[in-house]
Structure 1
Amino acid sequence: MTQAVDGVDHEGQPVTLNVVTERPLTIYLNSQEIVTAMTIGDYPDYLALGFLLNQGMLHQDDDVTGVDYDEELDVVVVRTARATDYEDKLKKKTRTSGCAVGTVFGDMMEGLQGVTLSSSTVRTSWLYTLAQAINTAPSLYLEAGAIHGTVLCREDRPLVYMEDVGRHNAVDKIAGWMFREGAPAADKILYTTGRLTSEMVIKTAQMGIPVLASRSGFTAWGVEIARNVGLTLIGRMRGKRFVCLSGAERLVWDADPLAVPEEDGRHRRKSAGV
């Protein structure tokens, strides 16, 4: 998922960098072409399933009869027992902010109707342990940068780590994994390296995950939606610091920030280049 590229550095000296590759992936639902996404190319089945779930085109109770991936054509086809037709919805398209610009269909807020999230508490010790574990884990991000990661966690344990050129792709892969594995959402935390935008909040709430955390910052609409749906929203999570702008009443302050080490300088420098 990387390739070596030659160049020169700030002193004019030869340098070789591993850079992330990206490729188009066209997603079909039955016989209908839905979208072409730019992706690093791993886990196309999870990405397709998760994207369709988060767009409301695939339902949690759908009988998925097949997920077929053609590597040569860069096409993945999700097949369901239920007949589908989303021609009208495809006419409503919104390009979202962020890296490797994402796309959502229809009225974004529709998917939040009737959503009820768990009001489970979050221990601050979990946040510190997760940040340390995730930020130091071997990853494509640490190797090449220019990529976002999303991690599904339970309490202080990372469970699944997905990466992609866009944070929306990475979270869709998590959604696809959860669908395939039948993983419950009510006891999970979703961690992302990207900004906490309205799109990320909506996707997390639609997945039924009650906590969304990030090392990056917030958008005002993302915070507003999180407060409306009762999602715990934690950002700027670096070293001993974090900020909670929604759901602070669910935090259990069981860790002393003074006992938490500052974030490693190497990771901070890497982050600045994302």
Structure 2
Amino acid sequence: MADPYLLKPDPTAPNLSASVTGIDQNGNSIETRVVTEKPLTLYLNAQEVVTMMTIGDHPDLLAVGYLKNQNMLADDDVITEIDYDEDLEVVIVRTERETNFEEKLKKKVRTSGCAQGTVFGDVMEGFESVSLSKDARLKTSWLYELTKTINTTPSLYLEAGAIHGCVLCEENRPLIYMEDVGRHNAVDKIAGWMTLNNVSAHDKIFYTTGRLTSEMVIKTVMMDIPILVSRSGFTAWGVELARQAGLTLIGRARGKRFMALAGEDRIVFDLDPGLVEDEPVKAKRKGSVPAE
């Protein structure tokens, strides 16, 4: 079967995880893999915007996606250059339009995302004006196929744990799979890829391994993606915001089971759950093996 992904994790990349030694509950020596975590300072033209903690892959996508999701890049902005200096741990996004967000940078709302994710206050102000596609559909046959494919894809999570994953999908095909120590970073990488490749969002499905929090709902809506799916659970505010925006919100998607708490009208029940295999026992993560 052909690989459906256009971009996916590379758990063998040496700079994304490291081998460390320790002991287990019995005092025996072990060796395991742990993900890397390093700072990345983002500049928009000459202005410093934020320093993010990230695993370090795809800094260009992360930078553009972060700026896009914070409304610091407009749809008609032209990016002239993206400079990344690995030694200085700096990425600079340059645009034709002169930018100055000094006041905007003072106005932040802290969210529940890992690694102290934030959204700027005026992103919330624009939330009510977003209109998601009413024609988008999610067939249950697509959902079952997607969750099976994504959950069996080799990933840094299976290699080292302590990481979140997000996947951009179209119908039953996962397209882009990104991971990072904070799920908001994984979201921003996908937003950056969509922006740089001029990809339409109106018919896409967004999958995340993490909780369906207010931050995840806000980011998905601001990306104009009409359907958000997770194998994890919900927060009350996340559900409230999804209903307000008309976002289809599906959680606890494991095997043949799922729950939809918003936007249920987009779901097409085209496959009997009784014909779907339930999710097998969770695969054991690599690592935590006796050291030589």
Q: Same fold (TM over 0.5)?
A: yes
Q: Write the deviation string for residues 149-194 of structure 1: whole angstroms up to 9, x where unpaired.
A: 0000000100000000011000000000000111110110000001
Q: Is the CA contact (8 Å cut-off) linking 1:62 and 1:81 kept in structure 2?
A: yes
Distance 1:108 1:64 in 2: 21
Gaps in structure 2 of 5+ consecutive residues? 1-15, 287-292
What secondary structure sits across from 1:87 in the alignment? Answer: coil
Distance 2:82 2:212 in 1: 30
Higher RCO by CA contacts (8 Å cutoff, separation 6 or greater): 2
Distance 1:140 1:264 in 2: 20
Q: Write the deviation string for residues 86-110 of structure 1: whole angstroms up to 9, x where unpaired.
A: 1111111222213222122223412
Q: Write the deviation string for residues 121-145 of structure 1: whole angstroms up to 9, x where unpaired.
A: 2101111100000000011111111
The reply on whether 1:89 has 2:96 as its aligned counterpart is no
Percent identity reads 65
1:26-37 pair list within 5 angstroms: 26-37=41-52
Q: Is the CA contact (8 Å cut-off) linking 2:253 and 2:259 kept in structure 1?
A: yes
What secondary structure sits across from 2:277 in the alignment? Answer: coil
What secondary structure sits across from 1:143 in the alignment? Answer: helix
Corresponding residue for 1:233?
A: 249
- In the TM superposition, what is the alpha-carbon distance from 1:268 to its structure 2 partner? 8.2
Give the number of aligned pairs: 270
Gaps in structure 1 of 5+ consecutive residues? none
Corresponding residue for 1:155?
A: 171
Greater CA deviation, 184-193 or 4-13? 4-13
What secondary structure sits across from 2:103 in the alignment? Answer: helix
Corresponding residue for 1:8?
A: 23
Structure with a larger share of its residues in helix: 1
Corresponding residue for 2:273?
A: 257
Corresponding residue for 2:233?
A: 217
The reply on whether 1:169 has 2:197 as its aligned counterpart is no
- In the TM superposition, what is the alpha-carbon distance from 1:269 to its structure 2 partner? 7.8
TM-score (normalised: structure 2)? 0.90
Q: Is the CA contact (8 Å cut-off) linking 1:65 and 1:81 kept in structure 2?
A: yes
1:48-87 pair list within 5 angstroms: 48-87=63-102
Change over 3 Å in CA distance of 1:226–1:176 after alignment to 2: same
Q: Is the CA contact (8 Å cut-off) linking 2:158 and 2:285 kept in structure 1?
A: no
Q: Is the CA contact (8 Å cut-off) linking 1:135 and 1:267 kept in structure 2?
A: no
Give the superposed CA RMSD.
1.3
